[in-house]
Amino acid sequence: MKKPSLPERLAIALLIEIASGNYHPDTRFLSRREIMHHWKVSSPTATQSLSLLAEWGILSACGRSGHYLEKHFMRKALLRIKKSHAEPLPGRPQWENKVRASMQPDSRLRRIAVIVVSDCSAPETDNPAPDGIPGHLPSVTRAVCAGIFEEMEAEGATADFYFDDGLDETRERVVRDIERARPQGVIVVRRLLSTAVSPVVQPLLKAGLPVVTAFDDCERLRMVSVNFNNVGLGYSAAQHLIEAGHRHIAVLVPPEKDEPYYFRGRLHGCKLAAREIGQGRVTVTPLTVSLERRKPAKSVMSLLDKQNPDRVTALFATTVDGLAALEPSLDATGIRVPEDMSVIMCSSRQGLTPGGRPFDIMKLDFRRIGQQAFRALERVHEGSFAEKVWLVDAEYEPCGTVAPLRGEGRPHS
């Protein structure tokens, strides 16, 4: 393999700088002189590296005014970093020319802002619960905030909580208050994925604040996002069912109109496990069940019918509500768990299971989402972060609803 040249190594170092979360499209990048100063290189080396970045479609030269970031620079930069085998040239800007550094010269996170995007309005008083987290929050959001609070406390940092109900007036006030408070970074906790966060996030990004979102960056903003590894979650669930001998697995997903894209990630993970572990002997069938609990479709009843030799013998329920909506169909067809069907469900805790019965679960630990979000914000703030997404794995907790399959494709009785 050809040894990377000095300009190539410098170009990789510049890619890491670009992917560190401090730029947005049409932003002017570091000048040739700044690159020479920070990386201790000659003028020709700096010039060649900038030319490489322009050749890769990440920068565009604008005459004598310098180089500017192209529209899709983050995706292209991350792909180049991933594919490259070149060792980046040591060196990094001291951030004195960054807005963030001028606001807070201390490299450690001391004070952050947490924006909760929720249909739950802000409390009438600012008094937090004993653990420091606003007590009126829904359980999932509260768990994420608890994870943020744990990491924050360990690092000696403090947080100001803001509540975004999606109204223009609220969002304008939140942006004004955060800009006035001058925190070192922002974590957006997205409970409502259907609510666009760009109106509140874009002004903060333009002000030079690093922003991390707990859950998805659905709008492809210049944020780092932390979410569950949904493909891995589906893969692990299917692996347990395949190891128990099941060859026909159904994956319960919401109707498309109610379905955030990450449910498809869980379905894709199951199909991936079927190909890799099942080696072509396992089928994975999407099972769409209305959450309104109306009469189930004939296709659903057919897949569950005990008289059908091709019926499913294992079920991965991607939502608690979906499994609750399917229960009448299970009762109508006389399906018993786990005697007639093995079931694994996505849940944050056993107490959320339908009818109060404990099921095997892929445990969604929302507290870990908050912990990872704070760690990611630390990395972005330090300028050493070069990944767009952090993924949190779910853990499998057995509770007796997965049983070995006996006989030729038929469950034991």
Residue 134 dihedral angles phi and psi, to the nearest 5°:
-50, 125
Q: Poorest-confidence range of 266-275, 321-330, 341-350?
A: 321-330
**What proportion of the chain, given as a percentage, has pLDDT over 70?**
79
pLDDT of 77 higher than 60 = yes
pLDDT band at 273 (very low <50, low <70, confident <90, very high): very high
* pLDDT tens readout for residues 128-175: 454 556 666 778 888 999 999 899 888 888 888 898 888 889 999 999
Q: Could you tell me whether strands 158-164 and 111-117 are parallel, antiparallel, or unpaired per DSSP bridges?
A: parallel
Amino acid found at 329: S
Q: What is the pLDDT of residue 223?
A: 82
| H-run or E-run covering 207 | none
CA-based nearest residue to 144, from 161, 156, 130, 157: 161
Query: How remote is the C-alpha of 234 from its chain's centroid?
Result: 15
pLDDT of 364 higher than 80 = yes
pLDDT of 200 higher than 70 = yes
* pLDDT tens readout for residues 42-56: 989 999 999 999 999
* pLDDT tens readout for residues 205-222: 888 888 999 987 777 777
The mean pLDDT of the chain is: 80
Tokens standing for residue 294: 């109306």
pLDDT of 96 higher than 50 = no
Helix (H, G, I), strand (E, B) or coil at 214: strand
Ranked by mean pLDDT, the top range of 22-36, 143-157, 244-258, 285-299 is: 143-157
pLDDT of 121 higher than 80 = no
Note the residue count of the chain.
413
Tokens standing for residue 117: 């995007």
Instruction: Quote the DSSP letter at residue 388.
Output: S
CA-based nearest residue to 70, from 14, 7, 18: 18
pLDDT of 289 higher than 80 = no
Q: Could you tell me whether strands 314-317 and 248-253 are parallel, antiparallel, or unpaired per DSSP bridges?
A: parallel
Q: What is the pLDDT of residue 353?
A: 60
Tokens standing for residue 152: 């924050």
Q: From residue 140, how far is each of 144, 162, 200, 217, 317 by CA, in Å?
A: 6, 17, 22, 18, 19
Q: What is the pLDDT of residue 238?
A: 96
pLDDT band at 94 (very low <50, low <70, confident <90, very high): very low
Q: How many CB atoms lie within 10 A of CB 408?
A: 7
pLDDT of 115 higher than 90 = yes
Provide DSSP, 111-160: EEEEEEESSSPPPSS-PPPTTSS-TTS-HHHHHHHHHHHHHHHHTT-EEE
Distance separating alpha carbons of residues 413 and 397, to the nearest angstrom: 24
Provide DSSP, 320-373: HHHHHHHHHHHHHTT--TTTT-EEEEEESSGGGSGGG---EEEE--HHHHHHHH
Instruction: Quote the DSSP letter at residue 215.
Output: B
- Please name each of the domains of the chain with its CATH number: 6-83 (1.10.10.10), 106-222 (3.40.50.2300), 230-364 (3.40.50.2300)
Q: What is the pLDDT of residue 296?
A: 57
